[in-house]
Amino acid sequence: MEKKLRIGIIGAGRIGKLHANNLVNSVPEAEVAAISDVYLPGAQELAENLGVKKIYDDYTKILQDPEVDAVFICSSTDTHSIISKEAAQAGKHIFCEKPIDHDLDKIKEVLSEVEKAGVKYQVGFNRRFDRNFAKVKETVAEGKIGDVHIVKVTSRDPEAPPVSYVKVSGGIFADMTIHDFDMVRFLSGSEVTEVSAVGTCLVDPEIGKAGDVDTCIITLRFANGAIGVIDNSRQAVYGYDQRIEVFGSKGCVTADNETPNNTTLYTKESVSKEKPLYFFLERYNDAFIEEERAFVKACLNGTDTPVNAFDGLQPVLIALAAQKSCDLGGVPVKVGE
Amino acid sequence: MEKKLRIGIIGAGRIGKLHANNLVNSVPEAEVAAISDVYLPGAQELAENLGVKKIYDDYTKILQDPEVDAVFICSSTDTHSIISKEAAQAGKHIFCEKPIDHDLDKIKEVLSEVEKAGVKYQVGFNRRFDRNFAKVKETVAEGKIGDVHIVKVTSRDPEAPPVSYVKVSGGIFADMTIHDFDMVRFLSGSEVTEVSAVGTCLVDPEIGKAGDVDTCIITLRFANGAIGVIDNSRQAVYGYDQRIEVFGSKGCVTADNETPNNTTLYTKESVSKEKPLYFFLERYNDAFIEEERAFVKACLNGTDTPVNAFDGLQPVLIALAAQKSCDLGGVPVKVGE
Amino acid sequence: MEKKLRIGIIGAGRIGKLHANNLVNSVPEAEVAAISDVYLPGAQELAENLGVKKIYDDYTKILQDPEVDAVFICSSTDTHSIISKEAAQAGKHIFCEKPIDHDLDKIKEVLSEVEKAGVKYQVGFNRRFDRNFAKVKETVAEGKIGDVHIVKVTSRDPEAPPVSYVKVSGGIFADMTIHDFDMVRFLSGSEVTEVSAVGTCLVDPEIGKAGDVDTCIITLRFANGAIGVIDNSRQAVYGYDQRIEVFGSKGCVTADNETPNNTTLYTKESVSKEKPLYFFLERYNDAFIEEERAFVKACLNGTDTPVNAFDGLQPVLIALAAQKSCDLGGVPVKVGE
Amino acid sequence: MEKKLRIGIIGAGRIGKLHANNLVNSVPEAEVAAISDVYLPGAQELAENLGVKKIYDDYTKILQDPEVDAVFICSSTDTHSIISKEAAQAGKHIFCEKPIDHDLDKIKEVLSEVEKAGVKYQVGFNRRFDRNFAKVKETVAEGKIGDVHIVKVTSRDPEAPPVSYVKVSGGIFADMTIHDFDMVRFLSGSEVTEVSAVGTCLVDPEIGKAGDVDTCIITLRFANGAIGVIDNSRQAVYGYDQRIEVFGSKGCVTADNETPNNTTLYTKESVSKEKPLYFFLERYNDAFIEEERAFVKACLNGTDTPVNAFDGLQPVLIALAAQKSCDLGGVPVKVGE
């Protein structure tokens, strides 16, 4: 049997469980060697289900374990950057859920430590691994639509999160649009240089009272001269709406929503098809597995990860600019200012 | 046989010919009574083809003719407002090609004269009559998607016009986006209050040298709180790309491109479908006929026209704001400022 | 003005009105010169609406009129063959609604008279002129799917006719499937040599009592070796279902239903699109105009009509064989036996 | 950890490997306890990859093993019925690849032994578990299309098998259409009572020389009065073409092909989408996993398997009738005659 990557899962919440289960069931080159959670029973239950032996309530035990090659940081957002740094110092390869941090300085410290340690670092922008979006990227990269002129992302959640969540989320741009900011970088193959954002509160007035918006449109300029637009809503009652379009000098390529099945029902009343898959767990199920495989492969083969720490930094910079633009009523703001 | 509306066509160029032919062949309640063009042979040829008796090189002859009930102003843009005023003073109903004028004061004079004369006035925003867009409007108006949150228009021409045309066009916002500005008012049922536009020159550098852009994204705010976005390109190599989407609290409704036929070809190489219809003459052929029918019906029945002079004014105001925003690099500009 | 084809309409019922209106409004090279109907007021009303001067209750007046170049035979089916023969003897070009007759000998007499007189003859198989089916034919004829292997036709009416009609219809194969028999000849470019038909009565038991079936599947063999299948129902509650598919050695080409518009509505309950156009008047509106244009052009230019008298004979032969096979419980029957 | 079903894999060829891999990776309630193959190295390699300890060249060792609860019979077709009987006598639950046998008496012996032993028996008609087809079945079963009138199956392989395979395949109806015969039973919820089949050789003349056909259309009658049609080809150059349609008194439901992704590319030349997934391993990947889960669940819970031995018998009876009809040139043949 070939060499496996021995992985420690840090954080046994929803996303930690998802990664642990996928690694065990769908990534043969990976072995989940240890699980930690500050809430020990959570770690225990997950470990038992998956037959994992080492269980801790302190992630530093995982970092000290010489039989762990890599970690998945699935703990709360405010711990991502500090654990990233410590894991790098401990020589572990790192898969970190997004965002690395909301604070630019902390992200830059992570970049610095990762570079110093020479470990692999991958950020959890799983949508890049969606089969449809990956094909769009491939089509663009192969030049089939020529030079990129316009990048469009439609990204709407099926329902708004509770206001308690919104209050600590960092705002819609840092919490939700950040995935779309990564997507436009990925698709265009170019950096975002300037953004302008208009936002409003149409879904839930409580979100507005919490100082956030729930509906917004963000216009972007790219270093290569292209322009782009993202539209977001916290609530699309028909399901998770995730579509992209890249338009260029030689054509256009689009990716549509995924549905539970492709049947069509014709009746006296209507012709109906299935609604989009409900939310990210359904829609990006396969994409999560693909990103895990990509990370494991990069670690085992010593190749580059497909979404590195720099890719974790840039969307945060864009989100900050978008938030500033939105606060200013839509005035264009340079990214990195 | 019922009473017919006797129409004088002013201007026998491409759009004048289109209207004259449609009126004769597809609008039984209309009679083309006279045709004028400064280039007399043009008027003569068209009149002969259609069996029209009265032919002039001076449109004022049409305005003086008591056997003419209404005029179609299809002459060059710079003559629209003056002929509109004179026609109103002569008591004729007026169908005027867009735009009424680029100058706000001249448009307002037209509104004033039309109101004083009590004649019907319709502006040639034909896309409202497209069967797909009309259905979207109906769906929104019936409340099927609830409150409108986001309006999206994709509008791309199949090829850029000659630079000589661009130079006198008034710029992309006044020349091309103006149709989309009308469309978002139509779809949202609300006025645009503020716009921000980013534009660039990616299709033809000569357009940039002429001081215009050929690729742009315009973000809009509406009086009812909704937001919207339009993206334009002067060149979509795959054909005329005209799609809309209205997203709301209870759902979303979209309209797609029209194609020459709905066949699909499956081969070893690909699964292919027809490209969108080439340009506006093909795509909006039926819509032109519907707008003509609507005008004739309003004149004969004494009802309101579906696109009146005020509807001709508003998109010009929006276009001016968009141009200003674009010139300022995307800063939001209030409409009517 | 160019020479026009002067046409006499024989029969002012539904289909006669349709042709007369289309010829007047949409075929500039045609002139409706006379209209006859055994029920004179019907002819009068239609003539008045269209501004036609000559009105008769006896079609032979039209045949004797030297100012009539061609006739449209839109009278009841049992008169098609006799009027066809007399019109040919009178030297008129003939457009005859389908079927020419249910009696093979009578059809053959028509063929013989038409050939003797050297007049143009076209049978009303309008579906060949549908833009989708015409494109499928073109695709097949250009060899894009290679050799034809399988031809499939789905053809279902939106609702069953009254039993009184069924009783005099000649049976489903002669009345309804006959269009599909023409379609498979058209698409395959080959003659049908053998058919087997299974039929049953599932829609309306009264149809069964009248000795007919309302649901059937017909398998076909073609002279070129291909095979095919047609499925029919007298009642598709979601509308007129008319789809085709031709499968071959190098690919497959399909044509889908037409809808009133291409909008899609996404709600909490479903994703819905428009139902197919209701029935043949809606679906084949443009196809009727195209077939009329083709006939007028053939007469004026002295070229072949696209659907000649032989094309009128063959589907009747196939229908007879299908009826026999169905009566025998599905035993294969050779066409022309 | 819950109780697992301990499974012995008999036959380590392509389909045995598929089942073994899926059971290990995607069916947590299953444990692959032993693998046998007459070619021992094949069993060894598979066992090693999956960490399975017990490896045999003689399947009877598996049948004698008290630590094996169930077997997957993935050996050559001619051994299915004898191993089924022996496994039943040994008290093992049985998953058997299709067909159980070509010989009716042998199948009946299996049914008898299975009933006597009271073990679970499932036949490998995996397509029932395809998400699209399962949804069609559900829609029909819920009465959403009313009474079933017409069942249609399009089933075409991407390329013809080698003639050496065709010669021992039992003919296209027993080898390929058998899946479709199961599908029409599944969809209609009714037994097939009569079939007529027309077949021809258009893909590869060698197949014809071997006494088989490669292109065919089969018409079916069901006990509930419905009718149906299947069309097959051994070679669809654009990929595996697997579509179904069920038409009824209240509507129609269809399932389309699956594609690698849902992107669309618009260029000057065409609008193209992805071709269907290549063949059954790609298309029915998820369906294989679902059928395995269903079997394991039925064994563990003591519930009925979703495709039992009787379901294995019926398609063989239909295939025999179809072959007879085809040999007779399309004469209808009663199933079970």
- Summarize pLDDT for A41-67 with one digit per residue, the tens: 999 999 999 999 999 999 999 999 999
Nearest to C217 by CA among C236, C202, C230: C230
Residue C25: the pLDDT is 86
Burial classification of residue D73, based on how many CB atoms lie within 10 Å of its CB (0-12 exposed, 13-18 middle, 19 or more buried): buried
For residue A272, the chain C residues in CB contact (below 8 A) are 270-273
| Residue A160 DSSP symbol | P
pLDDT band at C2 (very low <50, low <70, confident <90, very high): low
Backbone angles phi, psi at C30, to 5 degrees: -110, 150
* Torsional class of B252: left (φ above 0), alpha (ψ -120 to 50), beta (otherwise): beta
Nearest to C85 by CA among C72, C75, C76, C94: C94
- Mode of pairing for the β-strands spanning D264-267 and A251-255: antiparallel
* H or E stretch covering B313: helix B309-327
- Identify the closest residue of chain D to C247 by CA–CA distance: D236
pLDDT band at D1 (very low <50, low <70, confident <90, very high): very low
For residue C182, give both structure tokens.
Answer: 């023409």
> Mean pLDDT over residues B192-210, rounded?
98
Instruction: List the single best residue of B24, B27, B263 to mutate versus C (max C Cβ within 10 A).
Output: B263
CA distance D28 to C246: 45
CA distance to partner chain D, nearest, from residue C145 (Å):
10
CA distance B286 to B279: 13
For residue D236, the chain B residues in CB contact (below 8 A) are 266
* Torsional class of B294: left (φ above 0), alpha (ψ -120 to 50), beta (otherwise): alpha
Q: What percent of chain C has pLDDT over 70?
A: 99
Residue C15: the pLDDT is 95
| Residue B275 DSSP symbol | P
| Chains touching chain D, criterion 3+ CB pairs below 8 Å | A, B, C
Q: Is the pLDDT of residue B190 over 90?
A: yes
Nearest to D320 by CA among D171, D136, D120: D171
For residue A208, the chain B residues in CB contact (below 8 A) are none
CA distance D170 to D212: 9
Give the three-class secondary structure for A203. Answer: coil
- Identify the closest residue of chain C to B263 by CA–CA distance: C255
Nearest to D6 by CA among D56, D50, D102, D72: D72
Q: Chain centroid to CA B183: how far?
A: 9
Cβ within 8 Å, pair D273-B275: no
| Residue A331 DSSP symbol | -
CA distance to partner chain D, nearest, from residue B276 (Å):
9
Q: Is the pLDDT of residue C1 over 50?
A: no
The amino acid sitting at A175 is: D
For residue A25, the chain D residues in CB contact (below 8 A) are 25-26, 28
DSSP secondary structure letters along A263-319: -EEEESS-EEEPPPPSSHHHHTHHHHHHHHHHHHHHHHHT---SS-HHHHHHHHHHH
Question: Residues near B118 by Cβ (< 8 Å), separated by ≥ 6?
Answer: none
Interface size B-C, in CB pairs within 8 Å, comes to 88
B1 at C interface, C-beta within 8 A: yes
Residue B109: the pLDDT is 96
CA distance D333 to D327: 11
Q: Is the pLDDT of residue B2 over 90?
A: no
For residue D274, the chain A residues in CB contact (below 8 A) are 135
CA distance C288 to C124: 9
CA distance C10 to C44: 13
> How confident is the model over B213-272, as pLDDT tens digits?
999 999 999 999 999 999 999 999 999 999 999 999 999 999 999 999 999 999 999 999
- The beta-carbon neighbor of B271 closest among D266, D268, D272 is D272
CA distance B106 to B83: 11
- B242 vs D336: which has the higher pLDDT: B242
Give the side-chain half-sphere CA count within 13 A for D174.
22
> Mean pLDDT over residues B96-112, rounded?
94
CA distance to partner chain A, nearest, from residue B229 (Å):
8
Give the three-class secondary structure for A63. Answer: helix
Cβ within 8 Å, pair A225-B150: no
Question: Residues near C335 by Cβ (< 8 Å), separated by ≥ 6?
Answer: C191, C192, C193, C194, C195, C317, C318, C321
**Range 187-246 of D in CB contact (< 8 A) with C:** 194, 196, 198, 200, 202-203, 215-217, 219, 221, 225-229, 231, 233, 235-238, 241
- Identify the closest residue of chain C to D325 by CA–CA distance: C331
Backbone angles phi, psi at C217, to 5 degrees: -130, 130
pTM, two decimals, is 0.95
Cβ within 8 Å, pair A261-D250: no
C328 C-beta neighbours (distance < 10 Å), count: 14
| Chains touching chain A, criterion 3+ CB pairs below 8 Å | B, C, D
Cβ within 8 Å, pair A272-C272: yes
Q: Which residues of C106-119 are buried (b: 16+ CB within 10 A; e: fewer)?
A: bbebbbebbeebeb
A209 C-beta neighbours (distance < 10 Å), count: 12
A31 C-beta neighbours (distance < 10 Å), count: 18
Residue A2: the pLDDT is 63
> How confident is the model over D224-256, as pLDDT tens digits?
999 999 999 999 999 999 999 999 999 999 999
- The beta-carbon neighbor of C261 closest among B25, B51, B135 is B135
Question: Beta strands of chain B (E only): which ranges?
Answer: 5-10, 30-36, 54-56, 70-73, 93-96, 121-123, 148-156, 192-200, 215-222, 227-233, 241-248, 251-255, 264-267, 271-273, 333-334
Give the three-class secondary structure for C95. Answer: strand
Residue C120: the pLDDT is 98
For residue D252, give both structure tokens.
Answer: 């129609």
CA distance B59 to B37: 7
> Mean pLDDT over residues B185-195, rounded?
98
Question: Residues near A51 by Cβ (< 8 Å), separated by ≥ 6?
Answer: A24, D1
Q: Which residues face C55 on adjacent strands?
A: C35
> How confident is the model over C172-205, as pLDDT tens digits?
999 999 999 999 999 999 999 999 999 999 999 9
Residue A1: the pLDDT is 43
The number of residues making up chain D comes to: 337
Question: Residues near D14 by Cβ (< 8 Å), separated by ≥ 6?
Answer: none
A271 at C interface, C-beta within 8 A: yes
CA distance A188 to A190: 5
Give the side-chain half-sphere CA count within 13 A for B227.
25
> How confident is the model over D71-110, as pLDDT tens digits?
999 999 999 999 999 999 999 999 999 999 999 999 999 9
**Range 272-331 of C in CB contact (< 8 A) with D:** 329-331
Q: Is the pLDDT of residue D65 over 80?
A: yes
Cβ within 8 Å, pair D251-A268: yes
* H or E stretch covering B292: helix B285-301
Residue D2: the pLDDT is 63
Give the three-class secondary structure for B333. Answer: strand
CA distance C250 to A316: 51
CA distance to partner chain A, nearest, from residue D133 (Å):
8
> How would you write chain D as a 3-class SS string?
CCCCEEEEEECCCHHHHHHHHHHHHHCCCEEEEEEECCCHHHHHHHHHHHCCCEEECCHHHHHHCCCCCEEEECCCHHHHHHHHHHHHHCCCEEEECCCCCCCHHHHHHHHHHHHHHCCCEEECCHHHHCHHHHHHHHHHHCCCCCCEEEEEEEEECCCCCCHHHHHHCCCHHHHHHHHHHHHHHHHHCCCEEEEEEEEECCCCHHHHHCCCCCEEEEEEEECCCCEEEEEEECCCCCCCEEEEEEEECCEEEEECCCCCCCCEEEECCCEEECCCCCCHHHHCHHHHHHHHHHHHHHHHHCCCCCCCHHHHHHHHHHHHHHHHHHHCCCCCEECCC
> How confident is the model over C223-232, as pLDDT tens digits?
999 999 999 9
C159 at D interface, C-beta within 8 A: no
Interface size A-B, in CB pairs within 8 Å, comes to 106
> Mean pLDDT over residues B71-94, rounded?
97
For residue A275, the chain B residues in CB contact (below 8 A) are none
Peptide bond into D205 cis (omega under 30): no
- Identify the closest residue of chain A to B235 by CA–CA distance: A249
Interface size C-D, in CB pairs within 8 Å, comes to 104
